[in-house]
């Protein structure tokens, strides 16, 4: 029978004042909170940080009043939520429905007809098109087509709501929001309209654009209301649909162009409903679900649901530098606060899931509890449509059985909101004995009408089965006696419907007893027709090289399928059909959770973890992880398949919390549906370049045409990284299977000498970086021309002329370009043509938002389009370079241009776990060392490793490879580069040197086999990367560069071409580091006509059927190798999508200097353990470890996926 019991525990709300707690008591890093506070105080003012409902830090006068400026938008829009709750408004209502005179004045708006198209959602999303000021402003573009930050639009929204209520909105706000959440009169004020008449239809006119004055006490309560999903002490104040609209922006918003992109960089990607957010991860240390109101002087109300965190701050402006990206001033504040919570959150054992991005649990007070005093509750969905379960140490459902049972049985009928629990009596199955003294059910499964049960506490576990739905049980004459102390079954649908295959799968923590935590979970399987036969069982024993599961009949060969060091506890696994993922649930217990008898007990408090994976054996990612859940998770928990909604979003957790049959609803947050790009895709660091590539495809071109169009356009809009004055590597996999490696690397001039940078025996390292001696002969154009002539569909002119038009008309500088100019302005100013282009007439430097026009470059591009590449290599450009070099002490000559040719190389091919990796051979060191490191990593099972172990192994492998790079690598036409570097035997030899417990010293390079005989060399007669692919099967990975920012800083007058400084990529002297701190040896010494060693690593991956599915590469000097490597590991080992792979935290080790650069997003816990293992950690943020781009084919969705690195602006798009 059924008995409901509801917990009275609830989220903590403040009464008249907030409860305070020390940061230490909640596991928060106090020093980091103080660091964030001190940063905020550079702008004076007041602030408060609330974690888990308690104030953990505050500063300034909490009663001081501050003009919140545009933070008012996020407060005012609360009334839209109230109107939605009252049924007065819907987000997609036309504004005209609420306001007959909407949008007028001015009359010009009416004449356009645009006001008739504006919805309330557009007003809240800043896509309506009104001009910035708060009065009656003109519409600047057709509504819904662009994003533009405005006060005028939000103020029209306020007028619509005023008409809806017919009264002063201030009164509505006090009645419906401020008073119910405990804000006191005097803590917040809302002035009347400053830009329009004070009254409207006889009532005061309020504005959303600005107007609120408040103290941090009021701000904190408003933030807490939003944190608690619009509820306050059980009362719904704001509807869930409104809160969801703020936290989950509509999918199309992120892709809209900005009307004035220089003002609020990337804004459409992180804005919704008049609130800012971090959904695109721009603030790397801050969770993506963070959202905030934000006004002038940096007034902030910040809500982070995943951290249970509210931060408020008001005062004067935070520090910012000219050219800073829009979010930059917030990073030292919000990013540091979020990182302070890391000890409390603990390091995740696996990365966040990209399929299921989170779980929203129903309130604690909504938990249904029945069968009080009984626990365990494994469940299965049987052939009669009922669910069967078993309880432990209790009397079951009411009416209770008379005797307390160690193991009893029950039948569950109905849904989670109205189920009936009926005890099933069984003389052959019921057991007596409290705790470990009696058998207890740990897993149940129905297959072909037979119930199967795993019983723990049976030394170790024993199988039983029932052919009459639990009344009669038979027991096996064998047991698991090694490990598998608490086995559970993987459950699919009704009566095992929808099973993956003909096997039954069983999981357990790797321990002999159910009462012990372990370091991981083990897995066994058996043909479903042979469950009762001990000899038919086999055990997961790791992964084969191709990523498939290895099985063994010997339990001693078992390996962990999931690693959760010191926390792996009782497990359940269910198949989630709508996402095709396996959901593994574990209560989180620790040794501290043992009761007085010594047994672990998390019935009343503890943590909860939910992991997901595409296969029963992984690779796993984290859906939910909370070391201290808001209620006791119980000693066991599961997600019954029968109680999963058809769309997969609503689930119900059955758990033994509070020693009961407890049910809690969970709503899964799914990743936004992705666009279908069936015809092609392009990814690059600049939107205009990506658009140029797509346009080339749309004009009839293929992926090669798109890649070259993108590359040439990048030379216009991203000239600090690449251009006609630089070089490139182009890797193509054609639709017919032919693989081409086109080498457009720069060459040393004929007058170059080995010691040309030595002055009195000392290296003049500036000469190789800046000025007339720094450039090599540019090769990019020759490679472009060869690629498009032989492998494209368009003519070179077809892709040159649009770039010329863009160069002539100009484009607005983004923050990245502006920062590069600022960092190199002194060097650029030394060269007249460079100074003329990048400085204004008054001598000031161009800044973010300024329009850069390049008429000389436009002319050069047009002449090449008309006359062909010879005009560049044997015509005017070569002549002008020759003359300038002679006048300025350079050695580059027109003859160097005239003899330049792009080279064709045999691409480098290697296998990794069944995938074929296509890389670029020397003079790229990237292809060699990506392959070499992958060969080392293939000896480790990366997918099942804990994060810190995996990162340690990757770092150690990098170190060994870069030691080899320093000695062996160079231009194969001039140096013997051993093929043995990528031999598997050599990789195994190197991998054996890796100590999993500590960082090892690598004193020097290794010795690959046949180093002098088996060599590379086969030919066929600041960097940026881009990737492109098309539906015909053409794939391109292209990496190009001028080396450091703006290369040599030289623009030869009349050409507009920025010349590279690739001579610095040679070893100017043995052991002397270049601009990237790389050292080299004789193999990379300077010689006339020689190509300098490069780290560029354009890479294409073929799947196990031999079809291309990934094109990837990176920019960032030597970090290109480590980025490309880690991106491949993320996709091939960890099964990430390309977007997640590029956004994941990175590390980099290049042997010399002996330091491990680690992105802060890797987490404090990981860095702490790496330090303990002996790594010298150098923390990195922003683009310190480079920038990647990639295109991937999603076979299941039949769509391309493209991604640009989230660390910088860029664009990935398709069609």
Q: What is the pLDDT of residues 559-591, one digit of tens each?
A: 999 999 888 999 999 999 999 999 999 999 754
Please, which pLDDT band fits residue 1021 given cuts at 50, 70 and 90? very low
Q: For position 1069, what pLDDT does the model report?
A: 63
Is 1023 one of the catalytic residues? yes
898 marked as binding residue:
no
Q: For position 3, what pLDDT does the model report?
A: 25
Please check whether residue 521 is in contact with residue 568, taking contact to mean a CB–CB distance below 8 angstroms: yes
Average per-residue pLDDT for the chain: 91
Using only the alpha carbons of the chain, give its radius of gyration: 32
Q: For position 347, what pLDDT does the model report?
A: 64
Q: Which two tokens stand for residue 1018?
A: 């086969």
Structure confidence by residue, pLDDT tens digits, 438-483: 999 999 999 999 999 999 999 999 999 999 999 999 999 999 999 9
Q: For position 598, what pLDDT does the model report?
A: 63
Structure confidence by residue, pLDDT tens digits, 39-62: 999 999 999 999 989 999 999 999
Which is it for strands 1156-1159 and 1177-1180: parallel, antiparallel or unpaired? parallel
- Report in angstroms the alpha-carbon separations of 503 from 379, 495, 524, 552: 19, 14, 10, 15
816 pLDDT above the threshold of 90 = no
Residues 6 or more apart whose CB falls under 8 angstroms from that of 171 comprise: none
Q: For position 529, what pLDDT does the model report?
A: 95
The three-class DSSP label of residue 496 is helix
Please, which pLDDT band fits residue 1024 given cuts at 50, 70 and 90? confident
1117 marked as binding residue:
yes
Q: Which two tokens stand for residue 1146?
A: 């990175």
Q: For position 1019, what pLDDT does the model report?
A: 38
Domains (ranges, CATH) in the chain? 66-308+317-331 (3.40.710.10), 357-670 (2.115.10), 680-810+853-905+1020-1214 (3.60.20.40)
102 pLDDT above the threshold of 60 = yes
Structure confidence by residue, pLDDT tens digits, 913-950: 999 999 998 888 888 889 999 999 999 989 888 889 99
- State the Cα–Cα distance between residues 206 and 202, nearest whole angstrom: 12
Which candidate in 389, 1023, 1024, 1039 is catalytic? 1023
- Among residues 675, 682, 730, 677, the alpha carbon closest in space to that of 703 is found at 682
> Which phi and psi angles does 163 have, rounded to 5°?
-65, -35
Q: For position 1078, what pLDDT does the model report?
A: 52
**How far is residue 1063 CA from its own chain's centroid?**
36
In sequence order, the β-bridge partners of residue 572 are 585
Please, which pLDDT band fits residue 593 given cuts at 50, 70 and 90? low
228 marked as binding residue:
no
Residues 6 or more apart whose CB falls under 8 angstroms from that of 294 comprise: 70, 71, 74, 276, 300
Structure confidence by residue, pLDDT tens digits, 1127-1160: 999 999 988 889 989 988 999 999 888 999 999 8
- State the Cα–Cα distance between residues 662 and 9, nearest whole angstrom: 14
- Report in angstroms the alpha-carbon separations of 588 from 309, 348, 584: 22, 12, 12
- DSSP code at position 194: S
745 marked as binding residue:
yes
193 pLDDT above the threshold of 90 = yes
Structure confidence by residue, pLDDT tens digits, 27-38: 788 999 999 999
Q: For position 364, what pLDDT does the model report?
A: 87
Please, which pLDDT band fits residue 1081 given cuts at 50, 70 and 90? low
Structure confidence by residue, pLDDT tens digits, 216-265: 999 999 999 999 999 998 899 999 899 999 998 887 898 899 998 878 87
- Report in angstroms the alpha-carbon separations of 592 from 125, 142, 517, 635, 688: 48, 61, 11, 14, 57
Residue 1214 parent element (H or E)? strand 1211-1214
Q: Residue for token digits 């105080």? A: 41
550 marked as binding residue:
no
Cα pseudo-dihedral 389, 391, 395, 401, rounded to 10: 40
838 pLDDT above the threshold of 90 = yes
Q: For position 457, what pLDDT does the model report?
A: 95
Q: Percent of the chain at pLDDT above 70? A: 95
176 marked as binding residue:
no
First and final C-alpha spacing in the chain: 57
Sheet of 1177-1180, strand order: 1147-1148, 1156-1159, 1177-1180
Please check whether residue 277 is in contact with residue 13, taking contact to mean a CB–CB distance below 8 angstroms: no
Which range (195-209, 298-312, 1036-1050, 1152-1166) has the least confidence?
1152-1166
Please check whether residue 490 is in contact with residue 584, taking contact to mean a CB–CB distance below 8 angstroms: no
71 marked as binding residue:
no
Q: For position 7, what pLDDT does the model report?
A: 24
Maximum CA extent, the chain: 105
The three-class DSSP label of residue 1141 is helix
In the chain, helix, strand, coil percent, each to 5? 30, 25, 45
1006 pLDDT above the threshold of 80 = no
911 pLDDT above the threshold of 70 = yes
Q: For position 372, what pLDDT does the model report?
A: 95
Interhelix angle 152-165/78-85, rounded to 10 degrees, is 30
Q: For position 480, what pLDDT does the model report?
A: 97
- State the Cα–Cα distance between residues 927 and 936, nearest whole angstrom: 14
Q: For position 1015, what pLDDT does the model report?
A: 45
Sign of CA dihedral 202, 206, 212, 214: positive
The Cβ of residue 15 has, within 10 Å, a number of other Cβ atoms equal to 8
How many residues are given for the chain?
1215
Which long-range contacts (C-beta less than 8 Å, at least 24 apart) are formed by 252-256? 253/125, 253/127, 253/147, 254/280, 256/127, 256/145, 256/146, 256/147
In sequence order, the β-bridge partners of residue 1178 are 1157
In sequence order, the β-bridge partners of residue 453 are 444, 464
Structure confidence by residue, pLDDT tens digits, 966-979: 777 766 677 677 77
1042 marked as binding residue:
yes
Please, which pLDDT band fits residue 1 given cuts at 50, 70 and 90? very low
200 pLDDT above the threshold of 80 = yes
- Among residues 173, 167, 176, 175, the alpha carbon closest in space to that of 189 is found at 173
Which range (449-463, 659-673, 1015-1029) has the least confidence?
1015-1029
Please check whether residue 242 is in contact with residue 89, taking contact to mean a CB–CB distance below 8 angstroms: no
């Amino acid at each position: 029978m059924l008995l409901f019991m509801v917990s009275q525990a609830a989220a903590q709300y403040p009464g008249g004042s907030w409860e305070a707690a020390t940061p230490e008591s909640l596991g928060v890093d106090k020093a980091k909170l103080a660091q964030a506070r001190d940063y905020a105080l550079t702008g004076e003012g007041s602030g408060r940080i609330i974690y888990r409902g308690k104030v953990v830090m505050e500063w300034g006068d909490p009663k001081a009043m501050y003009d919140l400026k545009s933070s008012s938008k996020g407060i005012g829009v609360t009334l839209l939520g109230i109107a939605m709750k009252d049924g007065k408004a819907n987000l997609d209502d036309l504004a005209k429905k609420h306001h007959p005179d909407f949008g007028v004045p001015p009359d010009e708006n009416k004449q356009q007809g645009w006001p008739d198209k504006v919805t309330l959602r557009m007003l809240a999303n800043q896509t309506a098109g009104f001009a910035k000021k708060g009065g009656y402003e003109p519409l600047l573009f057709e509504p819904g087509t662009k994003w533009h930050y405005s006060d005028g639009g939000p103020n029209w929204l306020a007028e619509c709501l005023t008409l809806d209520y017919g009264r002063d909105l201030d009164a509505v706000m006090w009645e419906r929001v401020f008073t119910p959440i405990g804000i006191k009169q005097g803590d917040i004020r809302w002035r009347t309209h400053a830009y329009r008449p004070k009254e409207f239809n006889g009532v005061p006119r309020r504005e959303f654009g600005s107007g609120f004055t408040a103290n941090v006490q009021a701000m904190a309560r408003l933030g807490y209301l939003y944190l608690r999903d619009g509820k306050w002490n059980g009362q719904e104040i704001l509807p869930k649909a409104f809160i969801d609209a703020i936290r989950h922006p509509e999918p199309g918003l992120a892709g809209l162009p900005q009307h004035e992109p220089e003002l609020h960089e990337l804004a459409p990607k992180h804005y919704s409903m008049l609130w800012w957010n971090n959904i695109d991860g721009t603030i790397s240390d801050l969770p993506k679900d963070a959202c905030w109101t934000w006004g002038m002087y940096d007034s902030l109300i910040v809500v982070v649901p995943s951290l249970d965190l509210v931060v408020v701050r008001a005062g004067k402006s935070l520090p910012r530098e000219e050219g800073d990206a829009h979010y930059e001033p917030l990073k030292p504040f919000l990013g540091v606060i979020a990182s302070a919570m890391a000890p409390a959150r603990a390091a995740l054992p696996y990365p966040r899931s990209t399929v299921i991005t989170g779980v929203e649990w129903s309130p604690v007070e909504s938990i249904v509890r029945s069968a009080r005093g009984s626990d365990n509750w494994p469940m299965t969905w049987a052939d009669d449509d009922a669910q069967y379960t078993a309880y432990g140490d209790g009397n079951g459902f009411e009416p209770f059985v008379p005797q307390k049972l160690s193991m009893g049985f029950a039948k569950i009928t109905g849904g989670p909101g109205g189920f009936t629990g009926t005890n099933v009596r069984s003389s052959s199955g019921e057991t007596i004995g409290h705790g470990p003294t009696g058998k207890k059910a740990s897993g149940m499964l129905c297959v072909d009408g037979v119930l199967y049960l795993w019983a723990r506490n049976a030394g170790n576990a024993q199988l039983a089965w029932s052919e009459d739905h639990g009344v009669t049980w038979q027991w096996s004459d064998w047991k698991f006696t090694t490990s598998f102390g608490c086995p559970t079954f993987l459950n699919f649908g009704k009566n095992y419907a929808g099973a993956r295959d003909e096997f039954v799968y069983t999981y357990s923590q790797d321990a002999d007893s159910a009462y012990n935590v372990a370091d991981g979970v083990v897995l066994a399987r058996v043909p479903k027709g042979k469950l009762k036969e001990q000899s038919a069982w086999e055990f997961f024993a790791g992964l084969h090289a191709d990523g498939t599961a290895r099985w063994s009949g010997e339990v001693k060969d078992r390996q962990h399928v999931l690693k959760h060091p010191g926390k792996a506890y009782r497990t359940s696994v269910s198949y989630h059909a709508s996402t095709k993922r396996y959901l593994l649930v574990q209560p989180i217990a620790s040794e501290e959770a043992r009761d007085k008898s010594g047994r672990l007990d998390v019935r009343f408090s503890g943590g909860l973890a939910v992991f997901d994976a595409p296969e029963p054996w992984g690779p796993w990612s984290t859906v939910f992880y909370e070391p201290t859940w808001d209620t006791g998770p119980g000693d066991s928990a599961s997600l019954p398949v029968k109680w999963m909604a058809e769309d997969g979003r609503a689930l119900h957790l059955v758990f033994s919390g509070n020693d009961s049959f407890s049910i809690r609803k969970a709503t899964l947050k799914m990743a936004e549906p992705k666009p279908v790009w069936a015809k092609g895709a392009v990814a690059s660091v600049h939107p205009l370049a990506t658009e140029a590539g797509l346009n080339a495809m749309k004009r009839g071109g293929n992926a090669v045409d798109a890649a070259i169009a993108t590359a040439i356009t990048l030379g216009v809009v991203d000239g600090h990284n690449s251009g006609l004055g630089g070089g490139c590597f182009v890797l193509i996999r054609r639709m017919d299977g032919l693989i081409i490696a086109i080498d457009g690397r720069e060459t040393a001039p004929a007058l170059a000498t080995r010691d040309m940078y030595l002055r009195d025996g000392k290296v003049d390292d500036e000469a190789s970086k800046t000025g007339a001696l720094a450039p090599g002969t540019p090769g990019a154009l020759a490679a472009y021309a060869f690629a498009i002539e032989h492998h494209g569909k368009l003519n070179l002119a077809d892709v040159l002329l649009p770039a010329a038009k863009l160069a002539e008309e100009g484009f607005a500088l983004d923050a990245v370009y502006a920062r590069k100019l600022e960092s190199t302005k002194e060097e650029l100013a030394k060269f007249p043509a460079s100074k003329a282009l990048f400085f204004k007439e008054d001598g000031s430097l161009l800044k973010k938002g300024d329009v850069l026009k390049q008429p000389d470059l436009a002319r050069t591009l047009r002449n090449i389009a008309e006359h062909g590449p010879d005009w560049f290599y044997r015509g005017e450009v070569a002549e002008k370079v020759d003359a300038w070099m002679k006048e300025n002490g350079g050695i580059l000559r027109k003859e160097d241009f005239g003899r330049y040719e792009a080279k064709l190389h045999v691409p480098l091919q290697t296998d990794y776990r069944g995938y074929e990796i296509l890389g670029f051979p020397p003079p790229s060191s990237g292809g060699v060392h990506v392959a070499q490191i992958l060969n080392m990593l293939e000896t480790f099972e990366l997918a099942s490793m804990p994060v810190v172990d995996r990162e340690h192994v990757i770092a150690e492998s990098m170190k060994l490879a870069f030691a080899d790079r320093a000695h062996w690598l160079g231009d194969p036409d001039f140096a013997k580069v051993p093929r043995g570097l990528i031999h598997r035997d050599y990789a195994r030899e190197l991998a054996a040197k890796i100590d999993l417990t500590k960082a090892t010293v690598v004193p020097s390079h290794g010795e690959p086999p046949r180093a002098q005989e088996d060599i590379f060399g086969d030919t066929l007669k600041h960097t940026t990367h881009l990737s492109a692919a098309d539906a015909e099967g053409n794939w391109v990975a292209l990496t190009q560069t001028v080396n450091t920012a703006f290369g040599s800083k030289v623009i030869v007058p009349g050409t507009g071409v920025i010349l590279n400084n690739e001579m610095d990529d040679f070893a100017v002297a043995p052991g002397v580091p270049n601009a990237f701190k790389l050292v080299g040896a004789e193999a990379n010494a300077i010689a006339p006509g020689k190509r300098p060693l490069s780290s560029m690593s354009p890479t294409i991956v073929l799947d196990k059927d031999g079809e291309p599915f990934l094109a990837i590469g990176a920019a960032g000097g030597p970090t290109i190798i480590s980025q490309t490597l880690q991106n491949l590991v993320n996709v091939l080992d960890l099964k990430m999508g390309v977007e997640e792979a590029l956004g994941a935290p990175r590390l980099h080790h290049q042997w010399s200097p002996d330091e491990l650069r680690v992105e802060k997003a890797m987490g404090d816990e990981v860095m702490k353990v790496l330090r303990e293992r002996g790594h010298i950690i150098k923390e990195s943020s922003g683009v310190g470890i480079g920038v990647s781009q990639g295109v991937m084919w999603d076979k299941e969705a039949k769509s391309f996926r493209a991604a640009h690195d989230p660390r910088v602006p860029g664009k990935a798009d398709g069609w």
